[in-house]
Copies of this chain bind each other. A is one copy, B any other.
Amino acid sequence: MVNLFEYNVKTHHKQELINIDHYLNEALEKSQVEEGIMIVYCPHTTAGITINENADPDVKKDLNAALNDTFPNHEYFIHREGNSDGHMKSTVTGASETLIISEGRMVFGTWQSVYFAEFDGPRTRTVYVKIIGG
């Protein structure tokens, strides 16, 4: 049974939090794993994976505002591509999240969703999903 999946995520803004739960559910169904874990992995260095609220869209707006405020594109940055703020946000957010699978479903909290966090878009990005039974 296949347990490694690759998805493309098209981003439309410089910074953006994109809900990718539908990809994770699709991968889980294809894997036919009932009990185990799922690793959601971002192979980019100016993006990340984070889990946060899916109910009120204002939370995403506040997160984006706070990320820009806390980790700005400092004038002292020397990296010529000019996206060192995105690299910093990537290190803070992290390249992956690990989820628990039980009874064929992800053990989410009521308000949790998984987001692809774009920090240097717009681009077409990749997300890997790996599922291990056990």
Contacts and interface: CB of A to CB of B under 8 A. Distances in A.
Contacts of A67: 88
Contacts of A37: 39, 130, 132
Interface magnitude class on chain A: 35 or more
Nearest to A103: B4
B87 A59 contact: yes
B65 A76 contact: yes
Interface stretch (A7-15, A22-30, A42-50): A42-50
Interface of A: 3-4, 35-37, 39, 41-45, 50-53, 56, 58-59, 61-63, 65-67, 69-71, 74, 76-81, 84-85, 87-88, 90-100, 102, 107-112, 126, 128, 130, 132-134
